[in-house]
Structure 1
Amino acid sequence: MSAERLHGHIGRFQMFAMGFGPIIGSAWVVILGHWLIGGGPGGAILGFAAGALIMLSIAACYAELTTRTLMTGGEFIFTLHVYGRTTAFLVGWFMMLCWVCVTIFEALALAWFAELLVPALRQPPLFTAFGSAVTLPQIAVGAAGALLIFMVNYGGERVIARFQSLVTYGFLALASLLLLYMLGNGTPANLQPLFPSDSETRWWAGAAAIFANAAFLFNGFQAISQVVEERAPGLPLKTIGRVMLITIAAAGAYYCLTILAVSMVAPWRETAHAEMATLAATEKLPGGAVLGSVLLLLVMASLIKTWNSVFVMAIRTLVALGRERMVPEWLAETDGTSGTPRRAVAFVTLLSIAGLLLGRGAIGPVVDMSAASMTLCYVLCCLAVPILRRRDGDVAAYRVPGGHATIAVAVLGSLMMMGVALIGPLVGATSLPLIHVLLLIWLALGVVFWMVQRRRIAAAD
């Protein structure tokens, strides 16, 4: 085993699959009704359009940082180059929390949709966690998904890229056909009122809520920066930056198209109050009984592609931390034949399976912790661009379009999202919210771990 640089042959279309795949997960089915209730079709679409613009500016900063560093590790590597080892460790520590939390989320969500598709999987609980029942089928389905992701990643970069491309482009083709079928069987009259403003709905408030959650809804484009070491020979670095922006634009278009299609099938107020608005709209179509099952299968495929990309990010963050000896070095070691960090793959798989014991009630805290960790990293990484420009000069193969104005938008947008993620839960709270307790516990664990690791490194040197 060795800790050499990762090598691969990931091309531009596979890069897109890696970046787009994790952005579109299950939210377009699970919480679309909440988007409509909050802002109506017009407000929801405007919220996503505004969020996409901010995320495009953030992604442009990531693209420039990626072409400056050219190393796997994403946010950890960016901050290591700018802020030093201590800050970089904390960023890596929280990014690992983020990515592992999302892998647990995908495992729990996969089991949930499997139950919807096959009601026989709903069994008596083994125990209760976070106020939700944990059943044997939930654990079994989630563990089966984790083992699939393990095998894909254990096989190496070629298997990962081909699998991700197959699932992502297959999903896109079938989901697009379904949405076009909705549009063809819908009517614009069902969109009214397009911008509701009454006692039930304030479209501007709903748009603002979607905009504030853009950090989570568009999260995942960073996978492209994580696999930059594994790019195909001859792939221009500028192309990598452009692909990163294209993933955000494509995801924003997909979200907006879904809102439009679902709202046109039936009067949107009627559909929005269903448990899953997208599923309810699908079942109203000709052949809806069959199409409903198809939709559930599509969502499960979508979860798998999201899971795989996020798993890739977790592994490569661990590898980068291991190279710097901030976690045990064996996590960065790669197999001499496949070049795969197989120990890290096994480690994250075990964490994903163990997380199934938290149950579906943990999804809320998991999402909140991920969003809070991510927004903090957005701020630090966007601020890193002008610092590196002053220090290293104009050496990046890709530069942020619009220059300092775009960077300023990215920083301000990141700060707003961080404020919503960290300050929002405190509003009206009579005690410290669970998300803050969990984040403080993780921070304390990180500080202790870092102090121990520094002493170990000093002793070894």
Structure 2
Amino acid sequence: MKEREQLAKTLKPQWVWAIALGSAIGWGAFVQPSVWMGGSGPLGAIIGFSIGAVLMMIIAVSYGFLIENFPVSGGEFAYAFKGFGRNHAYIAGWFLVLGYTCIVALNASALALVLKYIFPAVAEQGYMYNIAGWDVYFVEILIASAALIAFAYMNLRGANLSGKIQFIFVICMIIGVLFLFVGAVMHPETAFSNLQPLYNPDISSWSSIILIVAIAPWAFVGFDNVPQAAEEFNFSPKKGFMLIIFSLICAGLIYVLMITATALAMPWQELVDSQPKWGTGDAMSGLFGNWGILILAVALCMGVFTGLNGFFVSSSRLLFAMGRAKIIPSVFGKLHSKYKTPYAGIIFTCIVCLITPWFGRQVLTWVVNMSSVGVTIAYIYTCVVAYKLFKWSRDSYNPIQAFSAVVAPFKKAFSMVGALTGVVFLGLLLIPSSPAFMGVPSLIALFIWIALGVVFYLIKGPEFRKIPKDEMEYLILGTERNDDTEKSG
């Protein structure tokens, strides 16, 4: 068998944590709080995000186990192969490619939203056309395109550069969030009575909470970037689980702090009823003036930048793993001669995303909503594979391993609960009567993507299926075939 390409082990733990947290916190935490409160009320949104974070932590148990045992690029693509073979690996990979790419594009377009709010006269220059109710301006396209090209170039230069910058951006974002929250709490004109009523009075408190819980796969997507980077850890893969947990805790806190800071500024129903372009922006401007807008804009930009960078890392590593496995053209499985980065995946992601600003943000939102289905499917695959590999008990009389023997059944139970949670999330997205139904346009986009996947598989499948199983095991997992698929938990 031909020697497989491997990525250098250069990523430090704090960089990986920053990749996970920065990817999970994008533009939504700074733009959407008023929207979330409008549907669920302040406490409904806060409880919903808290429950969502806990559910993601349950799913993370499976990720931690699989990262430790299979520290390779590809993440869910590799796990699906280990558990169910190459066809399932293709399905998981196909959905994830779309999901990661769309999130890169959405983060780039969010920069134009910030400029439109702060400097509308600048952003709304060069009107071109209207798509699905969204006015497309040439300046917006330029802003999104410049960001995409800049982060593609940075990722092309190496994981060291992208990792360092990611960490700096995340720290700046956290400082901005803490300043806004503490400032809102300490401000003489704010009051916790502004959070009343705590839930949306038009629906039950339970429905208010579920409405937010249902978007957890979208709100916290990014922690699964950790397995995509596992091949590049310069530390033990065992730390992967705790890095994911810490990133989810921090992400949940950021959502809660931004919702609370927005609600404290004024009675939240008045804020929502005024139908602002940017509710949090109006709230911070009212409290702190231009300084509030500046700090919020900087924090938002840091969130957008970290999302761009983190998902560039993930999409390129996923494409690299699929190219190395010969599921997609082999050029994706090659590394840059100088920088040793998966250049083809980075360039491909950039080119595809450069197309999206021309269609307007509304159309892009439809596609991103649809891609949430793909991310949820990847969650399910990961949990089911972990359930398959975990044991209910650990056969060991070694006193040192006694704790592992006790914990083993809990891990298997967590993986089962994680898989069921993923199925529930999937149902909430796909069932029309669900409060989180993604909408007919997104459903149509999903069917189109599935059809494209079937066509591509019919073309590429015969070649893909001819690869011997031992070789496929080596290309994806980096090991020779091992018939003992049961791992102790």
> 1:67-119 CA deviation, whole Å, 9 max, x = no partner?
11110111111101111111110110111011111111112221222222222
Counterpart contact for 1:183–1:261, Cα < 8 Å = yes
**Matching residue of 1:417:** 425
* Code of the aligned partner of 1:271: L
Report the TM-score, using the length of structure 2 for normalisation. 0.86
- 1:251 partnered with 2:254: no
Query: What's the secondary structure of 1:4's corresponding residue?
Result: coil
Give how far 1:460 is off: 9.3
- Supply the distance in 2 between the matched residues of 1:204 and 1:305 (Cα, whole angstroms): 33
Query: What's the secondary structure of 1:127's corresponding residue?
Result: strand
Larger deviation, residues 76-85 vs 165-174: 165-174
**Matching residue of 1:128:** 130
Larger deviation, residues 3-12 vs 145-154: 3-12
* Code of the aligned partner of 2:183: Y
Query: Residues 211 and 68 (structure 1 numbering): CA distance in 2 closer, same or farther, change over 3 Å?
Result: same
Query: What's the secondary structure of 1:5's corresponding residue?
Result: coil
Counterpart contact for 1:32–1:276, Cα < 8 Å = no
- Supply the distance in 2 between the matched residues of 1:362 and 1:124 (Cα, whole angstroms): 20
Larger deviation, residues 432-441 vs 327-336: 432-441
Query: What's the secondary structure of 1:284's corresponding residue?
Result: helix
**Matching residue of 2:440:** 433
Query: Residues 269 and 312 (structure 1 numbering): CA distance in 2 closer, same or farther, change over 3 Å?
Result: same
- Supply the distance in 1 between the matched residues of 2:192 and 2:252 (Cα, whole angstroms): 24
- Supply the distance in 2 between the matched residues of 1:359 and 1:428 (Cα, whole angstroms): 23
- 1:444 partnered with 2:451: yes
Larger deviation, residues 28-37 vs 218-227: 28-37
Counterpart contact for 1:38–1:207, Cα < 8 Å = no
- 1:403 partnered with 2:411: yes
Give how far 1:270 is off: 2.1
- Supply the distance in 2 between the matched residues of 1:409 and 1:458 (Cα, whole angstroms): 33
- 1:303 partnered with 2:311: no
Query: Residues 140 and 194 (structure 1 numbering): CA distance in 2 closer, same or farther, change over 3 Å?
Result: same
| 2:224 paired residue among 217, 222, 225 | 222
* Code of the aligned partner of 2:144: G
**Matching residue of 1:265:** 265
* Code of the aligned partner of 2:449: W
- Supply the distance in 2 between the matched residues of 1:71 and 1:62 (Cα, whole angstroms): 12
Counterpart contact for 1:23–1:218, Cα < 8 Å = yes
Give how far 1:400 is off: 7.9
- Supply the distance in 1 between the matched residues of 2:281 and 2:409 (Cα, whole angstroms): 39
The residue correspondences of 1:356-395 to structure 2 (distance < 5 A) are 356-389=357-390
> 1:344-388 CA deviation, whole Å, 9 max, x = no partner?
211111111011221112132122112111112211211111212
Give how far 1:459 is off: 8.0
Counterpart contact for 1:41–1:191, Cα < 8 Å = no
- Supply the distance in 2 between the matched residues of 1:170 and 1:343 (Cα, whole angstroms): 31
Query: Residues 117 and 401 (structure 1 numbering): CA distance in 2 closer, same or farther, change over 3 Å?
Result: farther
Number of residue pairs the alignment of both structures matches: 453
**Matching residue of 1:242:** 242
- Supply the distance in 2 between the matched residues of 1:417 and 1:3 (Cα, whole angstroms): 37
The residue correspondences of 1:44-443 to structure 2 (distance < 5 A) are 44-119=45-120, 120-185=122-187, 187-196=190-199, 198=201, 200=202, 202-232=204-234, 235-273=235-273, 274-286=276-288, 288-389=289-390, 402-424=410-432, 433-443=440-450
Larger deviation, residues 376-385 vs 293-302: 293-302
Counterpart contact for 1:333–1:343, Cα < 8 Å = yes
- Supply the distance in 2 between the matched residues of 1:47 and 1:123 (Cα, whole angstroms): 39
Query: What's the secondary structure of 2:130's corresponding residue?
Result: strand
Give how far 1:188 is off: 4.1
Report the TM-score, using the length of structure 1 for normalisation. 0.91
Query: What's the secondary structure of 1:285's corresponding residue?
Result: helix
Give how far 1:191 is off: 3.8
Give how far 1:7 is off: 1.1
- Supply the distance in 2 between the matched residues of 1:426 and 1:312 (Cα, whole angstroms): 33
> 1:208-263 CA deviation, whole Å, 9 max, x = no partner?
1001111101110011111111111xx23222211111111111111112222222
Query: What's the secondary structure of 2:73's corresponding residue?
Result: coil
Counterpart contact for 1:74–1:317, Cα < 8 Å = yes
Identity %, equivalent residues: 25
Query: What's the secondary structure of 2:287's corresponding residue?
Result: coil
- Supply the distance in 1 between the matched residues of 2:85 and 2:375 (Cα, whole angstroms): 19
Query: Residues 427 and 417 (structure 1 numbering): CA distance in 2 closer, same or farther, change over 3 Å?
Result: closer
Counterpart contact for 1:19–1:220, Cα < 8 Å = yes
- Supply the distance in 2 between the matched residues of 1:280 and 1:69 (Cα, whole angstroms): 47
Query: Residues 457 and 75 (structure 1 numbering): CA distance in 2 closer, same or farther, change over 3 Å?
Result: closer
Counterpart contact for 1:54–1:409, Cα < 8 Å = no
Query: What's the secondary structure of 1:128's corresponding residue?
Result: strand
* Code of the aligned partner of 1:265: A
Counterpart contact for 2:356–2:364, Cα < 8 Å = no
* Code of the aligned partner of 1:448: V
> 1:46-78 CA deviation, whole Å, 9 max, x = no partner?
111111111110112111111111101111111
Counterpart contact for 1:322–1:331, Cα < 8 Å = yes
- Supply the distance in 2 between the matched residues of 1:68 and 1:404 (Cα, whole angstroms): 15
- Supply the distance in 2 between the matched residues of 1:197 and 1:255 (Cα, whole angstroms): 18
- Supply the distance in 1 between the matched residues of 2:410 and 2:95 (Cα, whole angstroms): 30
Counterpart contact for 1:125–1:135, Cα < 8 Å = yes
Query: Residues 299 and 89 (structure 1 numbering): CA distance in 2 closer, same or farther, change over 3 Å?
Result: same
* Code of the aligned partner of 2:302: A
Query: What's the secondary structure of 1:335's corresponding residue?
Result: coil
- Supply the distance in 2 between the matched residues of 1:450 and 1:236 (Cα, whole angstroms): 36
Counterpart contact for 2:428–2:436, Cα < 8 Å = no
- Supply the distance in 2 between the matched residues of 1:74 and 1:425 (Cα, whole angstroms): 33
> 1:143-193 CA deviation, whole Å, 9 max, x = no partner?
100111111111011111111111111211222222211111164443442
Query: What's the secondary structure of 2:23's corresponding residue?
Result: coil
Query: What's the secondary structure of 1:126's corresponding residue?
Result: strand
Query: Residues 137 and 197 (structure 1 numbering): CA distance in 2 closer, same or farther, change over 3 Å?
Result: closer
Query: Residues 83 and 428 (structure 1 numbering): CA distance in 2 closer, same or farther, change over 3 Å?
Result: closer
- Supply the distance in 2 between the matched residues of 1:110 and 1:350 (Cα, whole angstroms): 18
